[in-house]
């Protein structure tokens, strides 16, 4: 599979930032025993990755805007295009030496995300999509396999992943009502800690569905186009299109999406 010039730009940037992140992740594993912990080190790794991504993406598409989780906010001369970037999604996992984290790069044109890339440097899992052109997966062994959401139609067969409120973040009572309601109906409920990878794993069919609240645009942008191009229905928790504005998401195939939306609304 030959990727477009646009995807090649995104892949090159992600691989470059990913090499450094992977090296830093190796260091973090050794820092667990120090009293101060690796927090400052991780913040530095995060910033360094954003700086690499910004430099690479702006060099390749000079006019585009750029919004990054670590605070970069550039308005470009071409105001129709904006990169929406999370240099390290799943920071808590990274900090704890858990190899489930990702670089997420979305490209928004006007109000639509038209391209997305999610890359886990620890496993080299890479998920890419362009609007209208399908979604593709590659890793160390597999090259560019087309992705498709899982075909399971019943909640009773579904393995569902979610995000959960945690210390100082989100509505704990609502989270508990929602997880209880879903738990009672599904084959399994999971919490992996990276919104980007949760969406990517729905696209590959590993998870049947994913929902979460209290997210930021950079957690979601790339994953929205990747999941959609793999055949997922992706909406906010009202069943509408305001995922980025409301910071919430539900992604699944049509049948599971319909039933899960009903379950969540009733919770
Ligand atoms: P992060 O690792 O880049 O912070 C976990 O539920 C998901 O929520 C992760 O993708 C995490 O991204 C994201 N998230 C967004 N805002 C967050 C916050 N304020 N605290 C913790 N996780 C947050
Ligand atoms: Ca994030």
User: Mean pLDDT throughout 94-109?
Assistant: 96
At residue 41, the pLDDT reads: 84
Tell me which residue range forms the domain holding 137.
5-146
pLDDT band at 32 (very low <50, low <70, confident <90, very high): low
Residues 6+ apart with CB under 8 A from 135: 127, 128, 129, 146, 147, 203, 225, 226, 227, 229, 230
Distance CA 107, CA 154 (A): 33
Are residue 163 and residue 131 in the same domain, yes or no?
no
Kindly tell me if the per-residue pLDDT of 35 is higher than 70.
no
Helix ranges (H only) for the chain are 5-31, 39-60, 91-95, 172-183, 195-203, 217-229, 243-246, 254-266
The rounded distance, in Å, linking the Cα atoms of 70 and 61 is 20
- The reply to whether 132 and 186 lie within a common domain is no
Q: Among the three residues 97, 112, 146, which one is the final residue of a domain in this structure?
A: 146
Q: How far is Cα 124 from Cα 120, in angstroms, rounded to an integer?
A: 5
Whether 140 and 231 map to the same domain: the answer is no
Note whether 131 and 192 are same-domain residues: no
How many CB atoms sit inside 10 A of residue 35's CB? Answer: 4
Same domain, 138 and 12: yes
Using one digit for the tens of pLDDT, what is the confidence trace for 133-154?
999 999 999 889 999 999 999 9
Residues 261 and 190 grouped into a single domain:
yes
Given 112, 146, 180, which residue is the final one in a domain? 146
Tell whether the model's pLDDT for residue 262 goes beyond 90. Answer: yes
CATH number at residue 220: 3.40.190.80
Ligand 1 atom 6: residue of nearest CA:
163
What's residue 165's pLDDT?
92
**Do 124 and 187 belong to one domain?**
no
Mutation choice for ligand 1 from 67, 84, 103, 194, CB with most ligand atoms inside 8 A: 194
**Domain tally, the chain:** 2
Report whether 149 contacts 205 (CB < 8 A).
yes
Instruction: Please give the pLDDT value at position 1.
Output: 66
pLDDT digits (tens, 9 = 90+) for 161-184: 999 998 888 999 999 999 999 999
- Ligand 2 is an ion; its neighbours by CB within 5 Å are 86, 89, 219
Residue 89, ligand 1, Cβ within 6 A? yes
Mutate to test the pocket of ligand 1, among 70, 91, 105, 172 (most ligand atoms within 8 A of CB): 91
Range with the lowest mean pLDDT among 15-24, 117-126, 136-145, 236-245? 136-145
Residues 139 and 32 in one domain: yes
pLDDT digits (tens, 9 = 90+) for 61-73: 999 999 999 888 9
Last residue of some domain: 123, 146, 169?
A: 146
């Amino acid at each position: 599979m030959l990727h477009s010039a646009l995807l090649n730009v995104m892949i090159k940037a992600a691989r470059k930032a990913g090499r450094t992140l992977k090296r830093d992740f190796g260091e973090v594993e050794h820092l667990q025993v120090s009293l101060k912990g690796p927090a400052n080190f991780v913040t530095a790794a995060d910033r360094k990755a954003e700086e690499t991504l910004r430099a690479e993406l702006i060099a390749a598409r000079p006019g585009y805007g750029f919004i990054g989780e670590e605070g970069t906010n550039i308005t470009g001369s071409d105001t129709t295009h904006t990169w929406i970037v999370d240099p390290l999604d799943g920071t808590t996992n990274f900090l704890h030496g858990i190899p489930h984290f990702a670089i997420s790069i979305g490209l928004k044109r006007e109000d639509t995300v038209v391209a997305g890339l999610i890359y886990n440097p620890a496993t080299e899992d890479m998920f890419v999509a362009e609007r209208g052109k399908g979604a593709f997966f590659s890793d160390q062994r597999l090259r560019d396999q087309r992705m498709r959401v899982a075909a399971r139609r019943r909640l009773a067969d579904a393995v569902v992943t979610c995000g959960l409120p945690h210390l100082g973040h989100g509505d704990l009572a609502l989270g508990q009502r929602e997880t209880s309601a879903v738990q009672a109906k599904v084959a399994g409920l999971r919490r992996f800690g990276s919104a980007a990878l949760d969406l990517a794993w729905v696209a590959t069919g590993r998870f049947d569905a994913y929902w979460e609240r209290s997210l930021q645009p950079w957690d979601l942008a790339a994953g929205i186009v990747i999941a959609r191009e793999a055949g997922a229905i992706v909406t906010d928790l009202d069943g509408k299109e305001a995922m980025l504005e409301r910071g919430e998401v539900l992604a699944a195939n049509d049948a599971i999406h319909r039933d899960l939306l009903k379950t969540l609304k009733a919770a």
